């Protein structure tokens, strides 16, 4: 008997940690750094509060975004320094790529912290859940590495928008590949269909 895997009304809720990043894109393009710092803080705190109210905990992405926001507040408003804001994409994508890659060899795959939020507890204990997350973590590690290269090598607005497009593609690829993997493993676990008749 297959365990119904999704408990949330929207499995897209696993991607809420990316919202502050998407909100900052037009602000960074406009070089409105003060507004960007404020939006980052408010967005990150909002995401954390949302997940704490839902008793879903804080992820490494939430923590990283909060630390970046706090450091940017100190650097920008306290010291008048825009270095981190100017390099936030490269630093952020590098750290996320490293987190994702390291998690493939130590501890839980990086995406498990997000996907646990939207699956039933019984399914979170299923070995297929871990294998699915190894696959999706590989997708995200590759996406973050590509974003890092784009952020470092492509300048102007394209250096901001191209990584966002890669992230959007990673959302789609990780969701579709997870569904295909689950479908194929659940089909195999049920065995061949009994002949009619």
| Local structure of residue 4 (DSSP, 8 states) | P
Q: Residue 102: its pLDDT value, please?
A: 96
**Any idea of the CA torsion for 143, 54, 37, 161, to the nearest 10 degrees?**
30
What is the tens place of the pLDDT at every residue in 53-108? 888 788 888 888 888 888 988 999 999 998 888 788 888 899 999 999 999 999 89
d(CA 175, CA 167): 12
16 touches 57 (CB < 8 A)? no
What is the tens place of the pLDDT at every residue in 123-138? 888 888 899 999 999 9
- The verdict on pTM exceeding 0.85 is no
Residue with the bigger pLDDT between 24 and 38: it is 38
List residues bridging with 119 in a β-sheet: 6
């Amino acid at each position: 008997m297959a365990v119904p895997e999704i408990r949330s009304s929207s499995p897209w809720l696993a991607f809420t940690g990316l919202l502050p990043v998407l909100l900052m894109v037009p602000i960074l393009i406009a070089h409105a750094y003060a507004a960007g710092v404020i939006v980052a803080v408010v967005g990150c705190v909002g995401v954390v509060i949302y997940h704490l109210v839902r008793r879903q905990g804080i992820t490494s992405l939430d923590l990283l975004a909060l630390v970046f926001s706090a450091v940017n507040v100190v650097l920008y408003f306290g010291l008048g320094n825009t270095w981190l804001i100017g390099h936030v994409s490269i630093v952020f994508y590098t750290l996320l790529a490293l987190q994702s890659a390291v998690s493939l060899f130590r501890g839980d795959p990086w995406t498990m912290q997000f996907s646990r939020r939207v699956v039933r507890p019984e399914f979170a204990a299923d070995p297929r859940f871990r294998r699915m997350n190894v696959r999706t973590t590989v997708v995200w590690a590759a996406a973050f590495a590509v974003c890092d290269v784009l952020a470092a090598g492509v300048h102007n607005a394209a250096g901001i928008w191209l990584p966002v497009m890669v992230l959007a593609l990673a959302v789609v690829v990780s969701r579709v590949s997870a569904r295909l993997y689950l479908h194929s493993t659940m089909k195999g676990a049920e065995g061949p269909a009994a002949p009619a008749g």
